Amino acid sequence: MNSHAELLKLLIPPVSYERNGLVLSAELEAIGGALDDFQDLVNVLQRELEAVAKLF
């Protein structure tokens, strides 16, 4: 699966910005990394909730 940074880069119109430009790329990597971390947290919470739900 693509990282969120890669997906964010695909949303940038190629005629507007240089997707791989140093500053933009660094910003998208930082935002994408935060989204990846959040997705990991959501996955952990989902597994925990599913485990608790099985108890009832």
What's the rounded Cα separation, in Å, for the pair 37 and 27? 15
Q: Could you count the other beta carbons within 10 Å of the beta carbon of residue 5?
A: 19
Listed in sequence order, the residues at least 6 apart from 15 whose beta carbon sits closer than 8 Å to its beta carbon are none
What band does 1 get if pLDDT is binned at 50, 70 and 90? low
pLDDT of residue 40: 97
* Residue 9, token pair as written in the block: 């880069």
- Per-residue pLDDT reduced to its tens digit, 12-48: 888 888 877 899 999 999 999 999 999 999 999 999 9
pLDDT at 17 (0 to 100): 82
For the chain, give every domain's residue range: 4-53
Torsion sign across C-alpha atoms 13, 14, 20, 23: negative
Give pTM, 2 decimals.
0.80
Closest among 27, 20, 54 to 10, alpha carbons compared: 20
Instruction: Identify the weakest region by mean pLDDT among 5-9, 10-14, 17-21, 50-54.
Output: 17-21
